[in-house]
Chain A
Amino acid sequence: MPDFHETDQEKTVRAYLNYFARSEIRPRSLEADRIEDIQPEFYQAVQRSGISMEMMPRSPGGSRDGAGAHERTTLRLSVLASEELSWGDASFLLSLPGPGLGGPPVSFIGTKEQRDRFFAVFKDTERPHFGAYALTEPEAGSDVAAIRTSCEEVPGGYRLNGTKTFITNGGRADWVVVFATIDPSLGRAGHRTFVVERGTPGFSVGRHHKKLGLRANDTSELVFADCFVPEENLLGGRAHYEQSKEGFKVAMQTFDATRPLVAAMAVGIARAAAERARELVEERYVLARPLPRYRALREALDDMDRRVRAARLLTWKSAFLADVREPQSRAASMAKAYTGKEAVLICREALELTAESGEAPDPFLEKWFRDIRVFDIFEGTAQVQRLVIARRLFEEIGAKVGL
């Protein structure tokens, strides 16, 4: 039976993370946005707090060695945490130490030796460590199958050439999961997945992108120029790629696991904007009347709350399905698409509802208006999500329509 009760564990996690977001993130948020970086004191606070947010579940679909056959709660708790911390500032969440989006592919297909080796770095709590996930290229974003970064087999390993772009935490990652192709003409079947460690000759960080929002979080270009990657860094080992399309499947599995988390981030921002708008409206007057006495405004505020809740429920459902190991590709894309669309609208409405002539916009609402826009773009654009949803819809009735 559907059940919406919050366990004591969830209540504790939510309350603690909300406190952390309120006391350690929000006060630094606007300044971090201005300087386009996270203040070092934040990482000290993270260390003190004991938050070592590995927001990405280690094995969303179960690791290859069959670990975890029972229902998990990983993604549901992660989704909850993602909303609370993003309510503080999504840039800070994205900048939390940990493997980030690089975690799921290492978990999914990495050998035990690889998982142990690459995750070991995060045991060091003296300074922040990061992982990253490099799939997007200047000429291949949504069309993942069209990546051109090449991996040529050479004695002892592979030689990588190409450029990756828009890579979250790419400039400071200890290692990066890189998708490359042995032959572009093979399409998805030619994909291989590597872990490239910082300092590897031929691997360099290009420019740091200047962005509309989420400015405090590092988004960088990565360049691979005759970059030699040893055989042992081919994720899953050579045998893993004997089945065709496996590399592409890894990329897609990662998205199924991370889209609910990204959706939850958008829920957190939308909730913050809706709450802020209500606070501001309640203290303002227009034409000598308190704003809350205007029915249209009250309706707009209530409607924002409803849409935040609907977005959260779709997100929760996709996380639940992942935790009980049900197919959730459509649910994950629905959560991402619905949340992205509604959160963008809510942040814009919040700014509109609180606008006063002759006054600068509320700085938080202005920031969230900029931050939220990418949530309809990254981890698959709004159009890509609809493509996934529509394909799955037709597949459910056994129809191939050529979408």
Chain B
Amino acid sequence: MYRFDWDDDSRAVAELARDFGRSAAAAEREAADAGAVPETLSRQAEELGLLDLIRSADDGGLGLGALAAGHAVSALVAEAPTIGTSLLLPGVGSVFGAPRGALFADGGAGAGGYRRPEGVRFSNGTATGRIGFAASPTSPQEGFLVAASDAGDRLVRVAGAALELQDAPSMGLTAMRRVGGPVDGAAEDLQAFDARARQALFLAFAPFFHGYGRAALNYARTYAAGRKAFGKVIGGFQAIGFLLADVVMEVEAAELLWQEAAWRAEQGEEAFRFAAEALRAAKDAAYFAANSCVGVLGGHGFVDDHPAERWLRDVETLSALTGNRAALGQSTLDPSHSEEAHGVA
């Protein structure tokens, strides 16, 4: 019998993450302007174990499953989107056992759906090519890269010296180091980067978008409850109230699609299509929420007195960084929806 509540442990971790997010929220703008999360907050997040939500207990992490970890990520990001994402996104490689301080990057082998010819290739124990854009720890000590090979896409590990990374500018996620650059060096073959691996990645990315969606919804709601126009608060106008109703429906529908996908994955099911659709829905909902938030704030949403415009930049940057939205929707990604499955190969 289906249910939608959380067990005590998952709830406790999510509340810890949420409380940390609330305490960090005041530093959001400072972090975005400075290009880094304040050191005190990074240290505090580390001490609370928030940087190791997914990392296995054997590796010193909390060892949470995709559902519980995602719930906590979403809770933190909903309170402090820019800081939360800056702290947690570089650690997403821990899904594949990458240690803290390692760079995880889609090396153009198509984790998000498209393959780049100039991306990283793995052959004869060597990785060569180029990383386009990745969320990075401050000084990556090694790289976990998705690379193309003759044996299919692989997850490989390279030493830090094999990475010649430069800062890669982007319009959003400005409190986090973003990098790109050439790769050339010996590489260790870790695992196939197959549908299961992509599935795990999609499930890890989606909660960041849920967090942004919640944050934008909550900010727009609070603003609409206080801002007056034509003699009453603008939340009292149906044009605003109905828009927020549509936003919350899209945000919660996306969260539920993700919950179902993550649950299936935790049951050991092949959940690739569910995960891809959940990530796509999460991106769409987050964009809708962030864009609507700018709209509800009107001119105030367009300027940096409020976080709405930053969150809109962040969401689109995060969306680009986590794979092409259109590619996620291509049914060819899903073997069960291939032309062969339709009997028309």
A interface residues (Cβ-Cβ under 8 A, vs B): 1-7, 10, 73, 76, 282, 290, 292-293, 295, 298-299, 301-303, 306, 309-311, 313-314, 316-317, 320-321, 324, 330, 334, 337-338, 383, 385-387, 389-391, 393-394, 397, 399, 401-403
Write the nearest CB–CB distance from B316 to chain A, whole angstroms: 21
Q: How far is the CB of A47 from chain B (nearest CB, A)?
A: 29
Closest partner residue, chain B, to A331 (CB atom):
B252
Per-residue CB contact flags for chain B residues 312-341 toward chain A (1 = under 8 Å, else 0) read 000000000000000001111010010100
Number of interface residues of B (CB under 8 A): 50
Q: Which residues of A contact B273 (CB under 8 A)?
A: 302
> Could you pull out 21 A-B pairs where Cβ atoms are within 8 angstroms?
A3-B2, A4-B260, A4-B264, A5-B1, A73-B1, A293-B339, A299-B330, A299-B331, A310-B256, A311-B253, A314-B249, A316-B2, A320-B5, A337-B249, A386-B238, A386-B245, A386-B246, A390-B238, A393-B221, A397-B221, A402-B232
Interface residues of B in 217-250 (CB under 8 A from A): 221-222, 224-226, 232-233, 235-236, 238, 241-242, 244-246, 248-249
A1→B10 CA distance, assembly (Å): 8
- Given A3-B1, A394-B241, list of 16 further CB < 8 A pairs? A1-B67, A3-B2, A5-B267, A7-B1, A73-B1, A282-B342, A290-B342, A314-B256, A334-B252, A387-B241, A387-B242, A387-B245, A391-B241, A393-B245, A393-B248, A399-B221
In this assembly, does B263 line the interface, its C-beta being within 8 Å of a C-beta of chain A? yes
Alpha-carbon separation in the docked complex, A263 to B339 (Å): 33
Residues of the B chain whose Cβ atoms lie less than 8 Å from the Cβ of A390: 235, 238, 241-242, 244-245
A397 to B337, CA, bound (A): 44
What secondary structure prevails in chain B residues at the interface with A? Answer: helix
What is the CA–CA distance of A21 and B244 in the complex, to the nearest angstrom?
38
Contact present for B222 and A397 (CB under 8 Å): yes
B-side contacts of A338, CB under 8 Å? 249, 253
Query: Once the chains bind, are A302 and B331 in contact (CB under 8 Å)?
Result: yes
| A301 contact set on B, CB distance < 8 A | 331
Q: Given that A310-B257, A390-B245 are known contacts, is A3 also in contact with B263, CB under 8 Å in the complex?
A: yes
**A290 contacts B344, C-beta separation under 8 Å:** yes
| Chain A facing B: main interface SS | helix
- In the complex the two chains form, is A317's CB within 8 Å of B4's CB? yes
What chain B residues lie within 8 Å of A1 (beta carbons)? 5-7, 10, 67-68
A320 touches B253 (CB 8 A): no
How close is B302's CB to chain A, nearest CB, in angstroms?
Answer: 23
Contacting pair B6 A403 (CB below 8 A): no
Contacts of A385 in B (CB 8 A): 245
A321-B252 Cα distance, complex, nearest whole Å: 14
**Which residue on chain A has the smallest CB distance to residue B253?**
A310
User: Number of A-B pairs whose CB atoms are under 8 Å?
Assistant: 158
In the complex, chain B residues whose CB is within 8 Å of the CB of A399: 221, 225-226, 233, 235
Q: In angstroms, how far is the closest chain B Cβ from the Cβ of A392? A: 9
C-alpha gap A228/B331 in the complex (Å): 63
**Chain A residue at smallest Cβ distance from B273:** A302
Find chain B residues with CB under 8 A from A6 CB: 1-2
Evaluate contact between B332 and A394: CB separation under 8 angstroms. no
Contact assessment for A292 and B344 in the assembled complex, using a CB-CB cutoff below 8 Å:
yes
Shortest B207–chain A CB gap in Å is: 13
**A337-B249, A401-B224 known; A386 and B241 CB under 8 Å?**
yes
Assuming the contacts A310-B257, A334-B248, A401-B236, asked whether A295 and B330 have C-beta atoms less than 8 A apart, the reply is yes
A353 → chain B, closest Cβ, in Å? Answer: 14
Evaluate contact between B3 and A3: CB separation under 8 angstroms.
yes
CA distance A394 to B6 in the complex (A): 24
Set of chain B residues within 8 Å of A306, measured between Cβ atoms? 257, 277, 281
Give min CB distance, B132 to chain A, whole Å: 25
Query: With a CB–CB cut-off of 8 A, which chain A residues contact B264?
Result: 4
**Are A402 and B236 within 8 A (Cβ)?**
yes
A290 vs B267: C-alpha distance in the bound complex, in angstroms? Answer: 36
Give chain B residues whose Cβ lies under 8 Å from the Cβ of A3: 1-3, 263
Q: Which residues of B contact A393 (CB under 8 A)?
A: 221, 241, 244-245, 248
* B259 at the A interface (CB under 8 A): yes
Contact A397 B225 (CB under 8 A): yes
Interface bits B1-44 vs A (CB < 8 Å: 1, else 0): 11111110010000000000000000000000000000000000
- Given the known interface contacts A299-B331, A402-B236, the answer about A292 and B339 at a Cβ–Cβ threshold of 8 Å is yes
Cβ-defined contact, B257 with A309, below 8 A: yes
Q: How far is the CB of B257 from chain A (nearest CB, A)?
A: 5
